[in-house]
Structure 1
């Protein structure tokens, strides 16, 4: 009985699908998926795409005309539609920082990074590696040294990381950066704030070295301008201040060097640029015949960005209290697989 009922339901389902297909055919709308011939299917698909594009253009023109009409009449223009994105439909997070959050700003004055960010202490960075360094590791470290002012490389050798941290404390370093490599490729970055932490562990991916960037520029020794984008939550604010503490807080703007950490969907994109100012001659379009006869030209300054490299992406794996302790350390935040159940949930 059960099997017969299933067959009957299946048959009824097929009848419904066939009825829908017949209704679409009656209306004169043929879907590309209903056409078996490949050439005809491609032609119908191209036609539908073209019609959709024309309709979109018509809507844009109608919207522009409505805005112009409203401005001419002195009325308020129609509200601009904002496209739905994963960012603007993110899940509500109670930890998002607000400009009037007095508790947050009061905490900034007493956190572990305040001395560097208030310019009471000059940042001094020790860069090292894991014990088994990779082929591209030294090249990446060399480029990090050109990005971060007052950074020094120390070979790891057989020393334990705890001993390196103690050495760095005694030598008045403010942070330790460890470049971890696996299978000849840098794959993680460990940032240890000194003397009392915290320690951040980032996954490193999409590394592109300077030599592999087309038309790259060479950075100067000037202190860079630092840009931190979209670190909106309390955790993001803390991570942003930790990154900020690696750089001096008095940039040399004459050097025209910019370092950017842009957070998008919890991926931190690193870019390193320099401004290029170019003077180009601009033709005089005036109708004055006397000016034209003298061939008077004006100079026009054009500004563009030139990437210096390297280029990479970071993703926070955990944030640990204190300096590095893999066995008995307490964690402020740890990323777990069950946190990734929603595409619209972000933590930074």
Structure 2
């Protein structure tokens, strides 16, 4: 006699919809809100239970001397980035050969010293002068020249004849600074950035004052060919032999194609702390950062071959609105 046939086990279907999607079909607003709150509470309770279970497994593995279970990595726009062919791999011989012969090679070989000319739009405001005063403290190799109605092409020629290596032109719209034009001399390239979120050092709580020491430079997350080119452009503004005694650090941090500018001093302090199980306090050296300012954000809008030419200039890269179709696609 044949035995009873076992029923086929149906696979469980996991509902991946959000709480809002699960309740959007309810027409009554009060009922929908009540059901939403109920599902939200249930979801939070399930997350707490799952977290407690993982912590218990980790502690048990440590007691037994086993390898703990891998930590869950949350999905972000950075680690789910859409990679393209311009991302530079480590120790790329082709990239290294190109950079050894580009416009900035002399800076990294310490054969060319940076000398930067700072200027503004035609009618700068008081805010612009306060900002320039802080930028002159940030860049020890920078010199300010009043615009005086001169065209940019004349300024480029003037600066080239006097040994300047870069020009930085800060623009403003109304009472807000909104742009930066960087021109590398004598043959370019020229980069145009949108400037936003400016906060002067004097407006930062607990800020310090910069010294005359040459700062260290930190460049983060410039991973594509375009990003490395822009990063080298920033690096050419600073000396390659920083004075570590000054403990000053200038940072250009790229995140999602927004370049965050920060200026800090790191400080070492001796503090006495009481250790558990001991009566006497132990002296430990702790480090912290003190922001000097200014702070602002840059967004690359275009990169042009040669020096500034608004009519017949050839562009290496231009940001266009149709390029922003995906939030997970970055160019720097």
Q: TM-score band (shorter)? A: 0.7 to 0.9
How far apart, CA to CA, are the structure 2 residues paired with 1:275 and 1:104?
A: 33
Alpha carbons 1:124, 1:172 under 8 Å: kept: yes
Alpha carbons 1:32, 1:42 under 8 Å: kept: no
Shift of 1:248: 0.7
Counterpart of 2:284 (choices 300, 310, 328) is 300
How far apart, CA to CA, are the structure 1 residues paired with 2:118 and 2:318?
A: 24
The match for 2:296 is: 312
The match for 2:81 is: 90
The match for 2:203 is: 212
| Match status 1:57 vs 2:48 | yes
How far apart, CA to CA, are the structure 1 residues paired with 2:312 and 2:302?
A: 14
Question: Which stretches in structure 1 are left out of the alignment for 5+ residues?
Answer: 1-29
Shift of 1:267: 0.7
Counterpart of 1:250 (choices 238, 241, 246) is 241
Alpha carbons 1:265, 1:346 under 8 Å: kept: yes
| TM-score for both structures, normalised by structure 1 | 0.83
Q: In angstroms, what is the RMSD of aligned CA positions?
A: 2.2
Alpha carbons 1:32, 1:45 under 8 Å: kept: no
Alpha carbons 1:127, 1:178 under 8 Å: kept: yes
| TM-score for both structures, normalised by structure 2 | 0.87
The match for 1:130 is: 121
Shift of 1:216: 1.3
Please state which structure has a larger fraction of its residues in helix. Answer: 1
Name whichever of 51-60 and 125-134 sits farther off. 51-60
Alpha carbons 1:224, 1:252 under 8 Å: kept: yes
SS in 1 for 2:126: coil
Shift of 1:284: 5.5
How far apart, CA to CA, are the structure 2 residues paired with 1:133 and 1:66?
A: 62
How far apart, CA to CA, are the structure 2 residues paired with 1:218 and 1:41?
A: 56
Q: Within 5 Å, which residues of 2 pair with 1:72-87?
A: 72-87=63-78
The match for 1:273 is: 264
Name whichever of 61-70 and 95-104 sits farther off. 61-70
Question: Which stretches in structure 2 are left out of the alignment for 5+ residues?
Answer: 1-21
Q: Which has the larger radius of gyration?
A: 1
Residue deviations 1:9-64 (CA, integer Å, cap 9, x gap): xxxxxxxxxxxxxxxxxxxxx959849576x8767655544443332222112112
How far apart, CA to CA, are the structure 1 residues paired with 2:79 and 2:277?
A: 47
